[in-house]
Structure 1
């Protein structure tokens, strides 16, 4: 969980730096924070199952969690994913239609919303872990 918090902090620092405009990377770091928080929950619940999960899809990871308010968690994940913050799309130009590249696809507003939604997921995870 600590690494998820550090990733989220790094994303926020990038967002607050007026000379940094690689918003796709801020979104990617937010995705990393959310993924690590979900995987921390998964390891906390069932380390053996967590070792078998080899994906970066937030919804798939969340569906493997056994928690009382899974619908609330899935709603948070869906809000994050609605921003278009796909694990591969944020980094690789071949995931977009030419001539678009990840750098041109993500705005400061999208990065700001990604930080907010990632923070919601990290906070949710912290509340549901001992």
Structure 2
């Protein structure tokens, strides 16, 4: 079980590193999407630790509830859940992701992943 948890965390870390790399080359939409992915995988690692199973959902708020995440993270999880759909499909939004928005997404991801790693 620990190996599987480690794999989820490793993928989370890879996604977060790739998000930062995309941010540096001003690919803000991709960077924000990868922030969502990194947090989702970290949450699933913690869920796996707590329940011994993975659920196939992408709603970070729901995943957060299932791992008893601290209340102050729920708004951030909601924001990144929106990014999951909005950043992927051209018919959901025509907005451009800005440097500031993506900086915020990177900060959210970093904080949430750090919290999760402490729990694992």
TM-score normalised according to structure 1 size: 0.77
1:117 has 2:114 as partner: no
**Contact map agreement 2:60 2:80 (CA 8 A) in 1:** no
- Please provide the CA RMSD for this pair: 1.8
1:14 maps to which of 22, 26, 46: 22
- The corresponding residue for 2:59 is 57
The structure with more helix, counted as a fraction of residues = 2
Structure 2 counterpart SS, 1:121: helix
- Report how many aligned residue pairs link the two structures: 112
User: Can you give the 5+ residue segments of structure 1 that lack an aligned partner in the other structure?
Assistant: none
Structure 2 counterpart SS, 1:95: coil
- The corresponding residue for 1:4 is 12
- The corresponding residue for 2:3 is none
- The corresponding residue for 2:30 is 25
1:38 maps to which of 32, 43, 48: 43
User: Can you give the 5+ residue segments of structure 2 that lack an aligned partner in the other structure?
Assistant: 1-8
Cα shift readout 1:42-70 (whole Å, capped 9, x = no counterpart): 0111123x2xx2210100111111x4xx3
TM-score normalised according to structure 2 size: 0.82
